[in-house]
Amino acid sequence: MSAIISRNWPAPAKLNLFLHVNGRRNDGYHELQTLFQFIDCCDMLDFCVTDIDELVLHSNMSAVVADNDNLILRAAKSLQQATSFKGGAEIWLDKRLPMGGGLGGGSSDAATTLVALNKLWNTQLSTEKLAEIGLKLGADIPVFIHGFAAFAEGVGERLHAVNPSELWYVIITPDAHVSTADVFKDPLLPRDTPKLAIDTLMSQPWVNDCQKLVVSKYPQVAKALGWLLEYAPSRMTGTGACVFGEFTQQQQALAALAKLPSDMQGFVAKGMNRSPLMVRLSHP
């Protein structure tokens, strides 16, 4: 096999433009209704196919996440097992997205690994089969594999393609790591938002049912959201800690970011209804 490195596979971040918690299931998972949209900020991965049955990850995050807990290696191993592929891969991760921020970086890294290695290993699994493998690793992974902005139901695996406005966003990254598991275990999390039809949800004001709880426990999130609300309609994404404000023009977003207090960090991103991973997949 070739030792050529296949470079620049993007793993884009996502925003939950709204997030409703409809109830808790018997298996402990929650029924959700949410709207995913990608943004043009990404982790980047490079891959080299190898002849030996070994998976090696080089990452600037190895000191933070143990390799055996890393979703990238778990995704690659899952694809190996599902296809009985005899070779392996060397993988390089350039981690650019904040961890624990609700932007889906870990899930996106795993999805990009599945999509890229499915092509590079020539294992030829369908998108649907890759999404099945991904769902076993994390509820958000299928939306990154399918690669389109989506209204999601269930635990986030039932997807319907949608085309929300591709706005500009100011995203603030508070210095807080919010545990998704802890948010969904918390007895104060509201779990009774009625399920609504997609047309109704797309036309009404958007909210995040996790936001009130997280804001009450993390003053850094409350401070960031309070500041951002002075400039634009703003919400938390996922279970936090990142918050985002919506702007119709890039210049408006950049002007707001320029006023960001020195004790906060943030960036400007463009909403995308087609994942940059899909663009990369169409190239050699």
Which amino acid would we find at residue 27?
D
> Can you tell me whether residue 128 is helix, strand or coil?
helix
**Around Cβ 249, how many Cβ atoms within 10 Å?**
10
Annotated ligand binding at 23? The verdict is no
Query: 134 a known binding residue?
Result: no
Pair 158, 181 in one domain: no
Last residue of a domain, one of 141, 162, 183: 162
Residue that finishes a domain, picked among 162, 181, 203: 162
Specify the residue for token string 């009404």.
204
179 and 148 in a common domain: no
DSSP H stretches of helix in the chain:
71-83, 105-120, 127-137, 141-146, 180-185, 198-203, 211-217, 219-228, 250-257, 276-281
Is residue 69 annotated as a catalytic residue, yes or no? no
What percent of the chain is modeled with pLDDT above 70?
96
Q: How many CA atoms lie within 13 A of 73 on its CB side?
A: 15
Residue 282 domain-assigned? no
Number of domains in the chain: 2
Answer yes or no: do 117 and 184 share one domain: no
Q: Can you tell me whether residue 33 is helix, strand or coil?
A: strand
Flag whether 211 is in a domain: yes
Per the annotation, does 108 bind a ligand? yes
Residue 102 labelled as part of a binding site: yes
Of the residues 43, 109, 140, 209, only one is catalytic, namely: 140
Name the CA dihedral angle for 16, 247, 94, 64, rounded to a multiple of 10 degrees: -50
Domain encompassing residue 98? 5-162
Residue 284 lies in a domain: no
Structure tokens at 272: 């995308």
Same domain, 152 and 228: no
| Cα 36 to Cα 33, 47, 59, 95, distances in angstroms | 10, 27, 27, 21
Judge whether 25 and 89 are in contact, CB under 8 Å: no
Is residue 71 a part of any domain in this protein? Answer: yes
Q: What type of residue is 202? A: M
Q: Is residue 251 pLDDT above 80, yes or no?
A: yes
- Active-site residue 14, yes or no? yes
- pLDDT grade, residue 1 (50/70/90)? very low
Do 138 and 207 lie in one domain? The reply is: no
204 and 97, same domain (yes or no): no
Same domain, 73 and 92: yes
Same domain, 94 and 200: no
Write the pLDDT tens digit of every residue in 105-158.
Answer: 999 999 999 999 999 999 999 999 999 999 999 989 999 999 999 999 988 779
Let me know whether 125 and 175 are in one domain: no
- Do the annotations mark residue 104 as ligand-binding? yes
Q: Report yes or no on 201 lying in a domain.
A: yes
106 is in an annotated binding site: yes
The CATH number linked to 46 is: 3.30.230.10
Whether the full predicted model's pTM is greater than 0.75, yes or no, is: yes
Contact, 53 vs 76, CB < 8 A?
no
- Which pLDDT score is estimated for 156? 77
The one-letter code for the residue type at 61 is M
For the stretch 55-93, pLDDT in tens is 999 988 755 555 556 899 999 999 999 999 999 999 999
- CA 168-225-158 angle, 5° bins: 65
Structural domain includes residue 242? yes
In a domain, 122, yes or no: yes
Q: Which of 162, 183, 205 marks a domain boundary? A: 162
pLDDT for position 66? 53
Same structural domain, 70 and 195: no
Of 14, 43, 109, 209, the catalytic one is 14
pLDDT of residue 60: 81
Residue 107 labelled as part of a binding site? yes
CATH code of residue 209: 3.30.70.890
Residue 42 has pLDDT above 50, yes or no: yes
- Above 70 in pLDDT, residue 276? yes
